[in-house]
Structure 1
Amino acid sequence: MIANVLSIAGTDPTGGAGIHADLKTFSALGAYGMAVTTAVVAQNTCGVRGFVVLDPAFVGEQIDAVFEDVRVDAVKIGMVANAALAEVIAGRLQRHARCPIVLDPVMVAKSGDRLLLPDAVAAIRERLVPLATVITPNLPEAALLLGRTAAQTIDEMQATLAALQELGADWVLLKGGHLPGPQSIDLLQGAGHSERLDAGRIATRSLHGSGCTLAAAVAALLPGNEVPAAVRQAKAYLTAALAAADQLAVGRGQGPLHHFHALWR
């Protein structure tokens, strides 16, 4: 049976990140994609100009509408711009969700622009992280969640990973793409299992939406797979989408990935 996967996230008018990237990823990996919008973002490949957060009660109505009608096999949470949204999303998922939840704690866009208000970090840490099957922070996001400086080495990543595990998620996928070197190294830990995932770093400027895409891929692959297998397949998909990204010509800044690299010939 084809999995139904729900994204709860913000928009991207240029189609490379947020719910737009999530829906492309779900489709590319054979899942039926759905989306609840949390914020409307004015951004492009060069940066974020601003965002408007939707009324939390209306976001809750969107979530209710999906779950009351459709079997949901996995949920991916992206941009949660403020504490009120985090509260509503957590409450609705506690009420409705009986499926894996992947939380990508989106806090800063690839351009460096912040995508959340100051009150959101604590709410994400305290309300959403404990509900998650997998969280997928990068090093700056992990630092914000933990209130510490970002890891600069693999040893510091290991210490960060252990601290993140204590926040309550079942699994933590800590993304090490901000570290220098020829390899992009991620660390996965949960359920007594630890794993290092290495991939060769792709020489491209088209990194827009890579975090959204990886988390969405994990969510699309979790129905029918154990977490380590889903994460490995998701990283392989992301690596291939990055390797093919320069086939696209979208924008003057950090372009999007090629989500349909295996389908468009």
Structure 2
Amino acid sequence: MRKILTIGGSDPFAGGGIQSDLKTFENFQLFGMSALTCVGMLDENNAFLLENLPAKWLEQQLASIQKMTDLAGIKIGLLHSLEAIMIVRDFLKKHPQIPIVLDPVLAFKETTSLANQQYIECLVKELFPLVDLVTPNLKEAALLSGKKKISSINEVIETTKFIHTLGSKAVVVKGGSGIHGNEAIDVLYSHDGLTTFTMEKLTRSTVNGAGCTFSSAITANLVHGYTLPQAIQRSKTYVYQCILNGVEMNDQTGSVWSGGNIKGGI
């Protein structure tokens, strides 16, 4: 049984975060392992907040995994601190021959613009050259490229190409529901050129965790030997089913569900 690692935050609602990743790995017949960076929760005013784990804890988690077993792939989600980025960088350098996917979750809330920019610059400089794919959504792509907003497919293509110049081997920007029209369009750019992936746009609230599930599914498909375009297409189809089978948390929001009859396949 091949082992695959997710490094990221904990979502108490289990739509995104390492919970979503581990469910996805199971569906792709891989043994999922995890290293936790931060924990999400609601405060007394019902606002979502994130609390970092001590950097030493992350370092020790990764060292424990390194001592215990070999890995077939790594998915990186929310790191949330400069210290975590540097620890993960050192860990990735020990695994140059396996698929590594970075979902650059930029969960900025109440920090300063300067701190946010420092985080982005560190993420780009230290991690982009070490991973096989970066998977920003439209908001994250705008932050990475310095744009205020991305609202058209032409802007998605332009931004994807720009992010590729920052040092990553490949970039897929997730259009999701943010681009006008009836299709959900994702754009991949790599040394092989430009590829677009389209699927019917769903009008459902059960989308929390779709991005995490997408990137973890891509990682799993790469571990199984699919090419990058194949891995993205298979993962897009998988996420579509997870949204269709999603679970409503309340009358306003819901989460994707990697359960039911959904199988990732190999």
Whether TM exceeds 0.5 here: the answer is yes
Aligned to 1:216: 216
Q: Distance in 2 between matches of 1:167 and 1:114?
A: 26
> Any idea what SS the aligned residue of 1:95 has?
coil
- Which amino acid letter does the alignment assign opposite residue 239 of structure 2? L
Cα distance, 1:253 vs. partner?
3.6
Compared CA separation, residues 34 and 251, structure 1 to 2 (3 A): farther
Moved more, 74-83 or 48-57: 48-57
CA separation in 1, counterparts of 2:89 and 2:42? 27
1:43-97 deviation per Cα after TM superposition (whole angstroms, max 9, x unaligned): 59xx752121112222111111112221111100000101111111111211345
| CA pair 54-115 structure 1, distance change in 2 beyond 3 A | farther
Change (3 A) 1:114 1:252: farther
CA deviation after TM superposition for structure 1 residue 98, in Å: 3.0
Instruction: Give yes or no for contact 1:12–1:20 (8 Å, CA) kept in 2.
Output: yes
Partners of 1:115 and 1:65 in 2: how far apart? 32
Contact 2:241-2:262 at 8 Å conserved across structures = no
Q: Which amino acid aligns with 1:102?
A: V
Contact 1:13/1:43, CA 8 A, preserved across alignment: no
Per the alignment, in what secondary structure is the counterpart of residue 179 of structure 2?
coil
Structure 2 CA distance for partners of 1:43 and 1:261, relative to 1, 3 Å: farther
Matches within 5 A, 1:41-80: 41-43=40-42, 49-80=48-79
Q: % of aligned pairs identical?
A: 27
- Code of the residue aligned with 2:74 in structure 1: it is V
Partner of 1:180: 180
| CA 1:51–1:115: 2 relative to 1, 3 Å | farther
Shift of 1:198: 0.3
Task: Name the counterpart of 1:237.
Answer: 238
Secondary structure at the residue paired with 1:169?
coil
Q: Contact 1:81–1:115 (CA<8 Å) still a contact in 2?
A: no
Structure 1 partner of 2:21: 22
Letter matched to residue 200 of structure 1: E
Is contact 1:176–1:186 with CA below 8 Å preserved after alignment? yes
Query: What is the distance in 2 between the residues matched to 1:82 and 1:100?
Result: 23
- Calculate the TM-score normalised by the size of structure 2: 0.89
Cα distance, 1:216–1:115 mapped onto 2, change above 3 Å: farther
- Name the CA shift for 1:43/1:183 in 2 (closer, same or farther; >3 Å): farther
Whichever residue aligns with residue 161 of structure 1, its letter is T
- 1:228 matched to which residue of 2? 229
Using the TM superposition, give the Cα deviation of residue 23 of structure 1 relative to its aligned residue in structure 2, in angstroms. Answer: 0.4
Q: Indicate if the aligned counterparts of 1:106 and 1:115 stay in contact, CA closer than 8 A.
A: no
Taking the aligned partners of 2:144 and 2:128, their CA distance within structure 1 comes to 10
Cα RMSD after superposing both structures: 2.3
2:169 is aligned to 170
Provide structure 2 residue ranges, at least 5 long, that are not aligned to the other structure: none
State the SS of the aligned residue for 1:61. Answer: helix
User: The residue matched to 2:49 in structure 1 has which SS?
Assistant: strand
* Contact 1:108–1:115 (Cα < 8 Å) also in 2: no
- Alignment deviations for residues 184-224 of structure 1 (CA, whole Å, 9 cap, x no partner): 00011213232110010112111111110100100111112
- CA distance in structure 2 between the partners assigned to 1:158 and 1:211 by the alignment: 19
Change (3 A) 1:5 1:114: farther
Partner-residue secondary structure (3-state), 1:35: strand
- Which residue of structure 2 lines up, in the alignment, with residue 85 of structure 1? 84
Alpha-carbon distance, 1:261 to partner: 3.2
Normalised TM-score (structure 1): 0.90
Q: 1:127 to 1:43 in 2, by over 3 A?
A: farther
1:128-182 Cα offsets, whole Å, 9 max, x none, are 1121101100111011112222321111111101101101111111111111221
> Residues 242 and 262 of structure 2 are in contact (CA less than 8 Å); yes or no, is this contact kept in structure 1?
no
Distance 1:165 1:159 in 2: 10
Q: What amino acid sits opposite 2:171 in the alignment? A: V
Judging changes above 3 Å, is the alpha-carbon distance between structure 1 residues 114 and 176 closer, same or farther for their aligned structure 2 residues? farther
* Structure-1 residue corresponding to 2:146: 147
